Every structure is written in C-alpha cells, then in structure tokens.
Chains A and B, each alone.
Chain A
Amino acid sequence: MATLVLPVEEQRVFVASQWQLMWWRFRKHRLAVASAVVVVGFYGLVLGADFLAYADPDASEAQRSLMPPQSIHWFDGRRFSPHVYAVKGARDPQTFKRVYRVDPAEKIPIRFFAEGFEYRFLGLIPTTRHLIGVEPGLDAARTIFVLGTDVQGRDLFSRLMYGTRISLTIGLFGVTASLVLGVVLGGLSGFYGGVTDTLIQRVIEILRSIPTIPLWMGLAAALPREWSVLQVYFAITIIISLLGWTELARVVRGRFLALREEDFVVSARLVGCSEMRTIFVHMVPAFMSHIIAATTLALPAMIISETALSFLGLGLRPPAISWGVLLQQAQNVQTVAISPWLMIPAVPVIVVVMAFNFLGDGLRDAADPY
C-alpha cells in the first residue's frame, strides 16, 4: 500500500492546535476581522477617553449653548496648519434664539498635545496633555467644538469620549455578571439533567416570554434617588444582567449535553476525577470558544439596554455620562430639527452594536473548527 503523502498545507492543519485552527477559520471572515479592529479601537477610546477629550466634559458655557460643530481646516494656504474659524454668538433680537456666525477672518490654531484640564492618564499618570486643544488661556469664544455643544454649552465631543467609557464598560460588566449566572445555571442544567434541568429550563422559558423593557424600567425606577453615580452604575448592571443570562445559559447547557457522553469526559470520570475537576479541567476548556462567541453576541444587547434605559431617564442619571444620557437631549424632535448634531451619539451605538454582531458571528463560525 502506498503511503499517503499529504501536501504541506494539510500537514500543517493536522498538527495545528485547536486555537490555531480557530484563528485560521476566523481570519477568513473578513467582516469579522474588520469588526474586531473596530471593537478594539473603541476599547482603546475607553482607555484614552480623557486624553482624547480636549474639554472638561462637565464644564458648561452659557455663551456657547447649542453651537453647531466647527469644521477643522487642515491647511492654511498650502501650509499644514490645522485651525477652526472663530464663531461669533449673538441673540436674535426677534426670536431670542442664539445664532452663531462663522468669522473666517479669525483663525484659531489647533495644537497637538496641548495643555488642558488635569487628569490621570490610564488612571495613573497625572498630566494635563490632550491630543488636541487650543492655546491655553483663550476665552470661550476662541475654543473648538468639533461636534458642537449641547443645551448647557458643554462640548459634545469630549462628552462622547467619556460616554463611550461608561457605555462600553457597563456592557462588559453586565455581560460578565450574565456569564457567571449563565455558566453556573446552564452548567447545572446540562450536567445533572433530570429535575434540575427541567426546572432551570422552565425558568428560562418564563423569563424569555416576559417583555423585558417594562420590567427593567420598573426595577430601575425603584433605585433610590440619592444613590451615587457608582451605585446606580452597578445597580443598572445587575438589573440588565438579571434578565440577560438566559441565552448564555442555553448555549452552555447545549454544550454540556453534547460533551457529557464524549469519551474523554467519561474516561475522566472513570479515573476518578471529582465533578469539579471534570467540569472545569476537562469540559469547560472544550467549549470555551463557544462561550466566548455567545458572550460577544450578548454584549450588544447589554449596550442597547443601558442606552435605552438612560435615554428614558431611568438608567444612569446626570452627572454620569453615557450614550443614553447624551441621547436624552435628542428626545424632542423640535430640538433635533434645529440642532441635528445632538443625534451624533447614536452613531457609535450603531457602529459598536454592528461590530459586535459581526465579530460574534465570525467567532461562532470559528468556534468549532473541526
């Protein structure tokens, strides 16, 4: 019998580890790879929010209320010299509305690594440098508002940076809490089967057939008004995850059921491994990739939930800043029609949710590379 000689390519596949196979599979899903880059980029924003923000997110300027975005001009003639035009604000004597007029004669140069408000970079290093900014000491009429300002005259861009930090981490904590619940309950359900399984499955079915938003609203509204931002933050995380663990539990249960009768699990049990050891050393690593994929797919729902609750005014409350809190200002059509830039915070919500969906899709396809 002739020995079968495989091409190099295939030999590589046979000796590759599971994670390597997954990576190869994942790489083929272009959209997922691009989404991974977007997601990583957004979490980069989370880390560097205060560096990228050039204005104190809470500093309000009555003279600059609802100012439209200023466009950055990158060149002055042929010379690279980013600047914005100064904007003159005045009150319309007839309508009493603030109107802004761009004054191309006065150019305000933008400086890189400019001095600004003080913060701690990555929470550690105290500094006053920001990516961009204007010369320190200029008055309000001579600053930049890349994305315009809100009703209180606060810089939308800087607020968006801080909002990204809160919205994305709340999703992360929420999904972690759901994951713990999902893995424990889904695991119990799948590993023991029988009455435990039936009971947990019925609970999941019941939870899934209840409309969640009214329930969330009810629970969130009950949070004491005097709670601090941090307390509300964690309470909201818990409320969101209490109802969001069911899908993760279903995935975990499904994997447990599939693996329970596998040879390697049976042999682990036969050689006398404790249940804990069988589960955590032998079974969990085998479906880790599925859990990661399911978690990624659960994240966007968490982010949307937080945004929706805060949008209604029941989630995070000012002075906390999140995407939902920012969008609260866009609740009224009349306001939005006059100041459409208030809707800008919707863009990152949509981009992040889509990126997580594509990424999760790619991870799910790659999770089982055999």
Chain B
Amino acid sequence: MLGYIGRRALLAIFTVWAISVLAFVIIQLPPGDYVTSYIAQMASMGSVVTDEEAENLRIQYGLGQPIYVQYYKWVKLIAQGNFGMSMEWRRPVTEVIGERLWLTVVVSVSALFLTWVLALPIGIYSAVRQYSVGDYLATFIGFVGLAVPNFLLALVLLYLGFTLFNAHIGGLFSPDFQDAPWSPARAWDLATHLPIPALILGLAGTAQQIRIMRANLLDELRKPYVVTARSKGLSEARVILKYPVRVALNPFASTIGYTLPYIVSGSIIVSLVLGLPTVGPLLLKALIAQDMFLAGTIVLLLGVMTVIGTLISDVLLVWIDPRIRLEDT
C-alpha cells in the first residue's frame, strides 16, 4: 500500500513539474520580457523606473540568461513564496489572488461532492429499476448533461432566473456580504449561493457517474452471490446495498482523478458567466492584459490544487478497495 501511494506521489510530483514548465511557457510566450513591460507599465502610470532598479529586476529574474536558468530562478522565487508582481494591479500576485483561490476550491469541491450525492442514489435506482420511467428519465438527463457545455447551461439558467423570477442567480455572495469580513453569517450566505454553481459544474460529471454506476451495478446484480444473499432471506435493501453496491463503487471512486480536473477547468468559464469571485475572471483579465505573472501563477496553482485533489482521491481509493493494494505489489 505504501508502495502504491509512493508511486502516485512520485507521479504527482512529475505532474506538478510539467505544470510548472507549462505555466512558465505561458509567462514567456508574449513578446518582450517582464522588465520592459514593467517599465512601460510604470511609465504609463507616470512613475519612472531607474536604470538601477531595472537592472536589479533583470538580475532577480535572470533575464538575458539561458531559458533554463530563468526557469530555475522563477521556481526558486516561487519556493520562497514570491510569485512576482501583477502589472495590472501593481501588487504582489499572491495578494491579488488571495481569497479567490479558496473560493475556487470551495466551488470545485462542492461540485464534486454534489456529483457524488446525486449520482450514487440515482445510479443505484437506475440499475435496480432498469427500463423503468425513472431509469429512462435519468438516462435522458444524463445525456443532456453530457452534451450541454456547462457555460451554456449557466447562461440558460441565468436567463431563466432573470426572466421568470427576476432574480440574479449568479455570484457567490449577496451584495451585503460582498466585501464583508468572514463571519458565520457570511459563510452561510456563501452556502446558500453554492448549490446553483455546484449543480452546473457537476452536471456533466454526475451524468457520467450515473452511467458508470448503473453499468457496474447491473453487472454485479446478475452474479450468483446476489442470488445467494437473497435466498438467505436478507431484505432487498440490504441485499443491494451491502454487497453489489460496494463492489460497483470502486470504478466510481477511481474516476475522481478525471472528474476533478474537468470540474476545475469548467469552473473557470462558468465563473465568468455567473460572475463568481473565483480565479476564473481574474485569469481571463490577466491574459487579455498580458499580465503574465498573474496568469501563469493562476494556471500553476490551479494545476497543483488539482493534482493534490487527485492524490487524495487515490489514497482514498486504496483505503476503500483492498484489491488495488494487491494488484500493484
């Protein structure tokens, strides 16, 4: 088991490295280097950067040196918690991102959670009552959920909320709590705003999970041990929940690794439509303004978060299903 987790952790480290390289590439792609655009930015604000200051910045970021040296310096700065300056905001990147990153985590995790809460019972129902009206309904919603891109779904819901109820369903906070300091009331306000974004983000995943759960459970239900359990006189609920569901749950859990990146990815664009204060809108603005340290940092942090989430789910999986430990030894 330790060996398995060790290997997953090693892969996670490699993934983080790959993400850091990609983020660095994104920072490097636009023409000109950081210092020239910084000077131009400062000049447009009316302040002057002295040659000495510019030279110091050049040395700090290793500009003019080979690309791998620059990468190394960048990583070193990050390790010290220095993600660079955001040009547009003229503040350190960490300050600009601040709370938004945690709200992204909250939205993504609640979407993932909702996916499970919905998919598990619906999947079981669909399998146990195969070809019933409810099963067809679930299958249909599942296909729609897979086919409708989540940002379009957000747009449609926003429109319906606006025209039918004259309510703005976007955002994560009521106007009163927008900039308020954290308090139980603000947390509650957040909780009441979460379901709609979570549902929009989680729908595609839910659809997929329902189909996986249904297919797996149908396979299991036909096995002799189910008949045995039933002939033993167990109640129907116990027959289903105690054995086949537990077996069917395994592939269900192992797909988190693919669901989480998908949800995080989707949260960016859905946040833009719904006006959620996550890193999504910030990333888009940064990219359009070519504020590359901010953009690169967001890509990096989102990637790292996803990797950590996936790693946690891997560990959970080993804990749920002992067979994996055997497989990999």
Residues of chain A at the chain B interface (Cβ within 8 Å): 202, 205-206, 208-215, 217-219, 221-222, 224, 300, 304, 307-308, 311-314, 327, 330-331, 333, 336-337, 340, 343, 346, 349-350, 353-354, 357-358
| B264 contacts across to A, CB distance below 8 A | 211
Complex alpha-carbon distance, A206 and B29, angstroms: 22
**In the complex, the 8 A-B pairs of residues with the closest C-beta atoms, listed nearest first:** A222-B29, A221-B287, A218-B26, A211-B265, A354-B147, A213-B265, A211-B264, A353-B147
Q: A210-B306, A350-B152 are in contact. Are A219 and B29 (CB under 8 A)?
A: yes
Whether A215 and B299, one on each chain, are in contact in the complex, defined by CB atoms closer than 8 angstroms, is yes
Q: A330-B155, A336-B159, A337-B162 are in contact. Are A307 and B261 (CB under 8 A)?
A: no
Distance (whole angstroms) from the CB of A68 to the closest CB of chain B: 15
Distance (whole angstroms) from the CB of B303 to the closest CB of chain A: 5
Binary interface encoding of chain B residues 141-171 relative to chain A, with 1 for a CB under 8 A from any of its CBs, else 0: 0011011110110011011001100001010
Partner of A312, one of B143, B284, B303: B284
| A346 contacts across to B, CB distance below 8 A | 152, 155-156
Which of B13-21, B45-53, B174-182, B316-324 is found at the contact surface with chain A?
B13-21
Whether A211 and B302, one on each chain, are in contact in the complex, defined by CB atoms closer than 8 angstroms, is yes
Whether B18 and A206, one on each chain, are in contact in the complex, defined by CB atoms closer than 8 angstroms, is yes
Partner of B261, one of A208, A300, A304, A357: A208
Binary interface encoding of chain B residues 255-298 relative to chain A, with 1 for a CB under 8 A from any of its CBs, else 0: 00110011011101100110000000001100110100001101
* Chain A at the B interface: SS class: helix
Distance (whole angstroms) from the CB of B206 to the closest CB of chain A: 16
| B149 contacts across to A, CB distance below 8 A | 304, 307-308, 349-350, 353
Band of interface residues on B: 35 or more
**Which chain B residue lies CB-closest to A351?**
B147
Distance (whole angstroms) from the CB of A353 to the closest CB of chain B: 5
| A300 contacts across to B, CB distance below 8 A | 147
Complex alpha-carbon distance, A206 and B158, angstroms: 35
Distance (whole angstroms) from the CB of A239 to the closest CB of chain B: 12
Distance (whole angstroms) from the CB of B312 to the closest CB of chain A: 13
Q: A209-B306, A222-B26 are in contact. Are A357 and B268 (CB under 8 A)?
A: no
* Chain B at the A interface: SS class: helix
**Which chain B residue lies CB-closest to A203?**
B18
A-B contact pairs, 17 of them (CB 8 A): A208-B261, A209-B15, A210-B306, A213-B269, A214-B268, A218-B295, A221-B295, A222-B29, A311-B269, A312-B269, A330-B155, A333-B168, A337-B162, A346-B156, A350-B149, A353-B149, A354-B144
Residue from the set B22, B23, B147, B155 with the largest chain A CB neighbour count within 10 Å: B147
Partner of B283, one of A209, A217, A222, A331: A217
Complex alpha-carbon distance, A337 and B162, angstroms: 7
Complex alpha-carbon distance, A312 and B268, angstroms: 10
Distance (whole angstroms) from the CB of A249 to the closest CB of chain B: 15
Whether B147 and A350, one on each chain, are in contact in the complex, defined by CB atoms closer than 8 angstroms, is yes
**Which chain A residue lies CB-closest to B311?**
A209
| B19 contacts across to A, CB distance below 8 A | 210
Q: A209-B306, A210-B261, A312-B269 are in contact. Are A221 and B288 (CB under 8 A)?
A: yes
Check B310 for interface membership: any CB of A closer than 8 A: yes
| B134 contacts across to A, CB distance below 8 A | none
Q: Which of B11-43 contact A (CB under 8 A)?
A: 11, 14-15, 18-19, 22-23, 26, 29-31
Residue from the set B152, B155, B288, B290 with the largest chain A CB neighbour count within 10 Å: B152
**Which chain B residue lies CB-closest to A221?**
B287
**Which chain B residue lies CB-closest to A217?**
B287
For the complex with contacts A206-B18, A218-B23, A358-B143, 12 further pairs of A-B residues with Cβ separation under 8 Å are A208-B258, A210-B18, A211-B306, A214-B303, A217-B287, A218-B299, A221-B290, A311-B151, A333-B159, A340-B163, A349-B149, A353-B148
Complex alpha-carbon distance, A284 and B162, angstroms: 53
Check B307 for interface membership: any CB of A closer than 8 A: yes
**Which chain A residue lies CB-closest to B146?**
A357
| A211 contacts across to B, CB distance below 8 A | 261-262, 264-265, 268, 302-303, 306
Q: Which of B190-221 contact A (CB under 8 A)?
A: none
Complex alpha-carbon distance, A327 and B152, angstroms: 9
Distance (whole angstroms) from the CB of B167 to the closest CB of chain A: 11
Whether B147 and A212, one on each chain, are in contact in the complex, defined by CB atoms closer than 8 angstroms, is no
Partner of B302, one of A214, A349, A358: A214
| A212 contacts across to B, CB distance below 8 A | 261, 265
Partner of A205, one of B11, B144, B170, B269: B11
Complex alpha-carbon distance, A298 and B160, angstroms: 31
Distance (whole angstroms) from the CB of B265 to the closest CB of chain A: 4
| B265 contacts across to A, CB distance below 8 A | 211-214
Q: A211-B306, A350-B147 are in contact. Are A202 and B14 (CB under 8 A)?
A: yes
Whether A333 and B162, one on each chain, are in contact in the complex, defined by CB atoms closer than 8 angstroms, is yes
| B170 contacts across to A, CB distance below 8 A | 333
| A340 contacts across to B, CB distance below 8 A | 159, 163
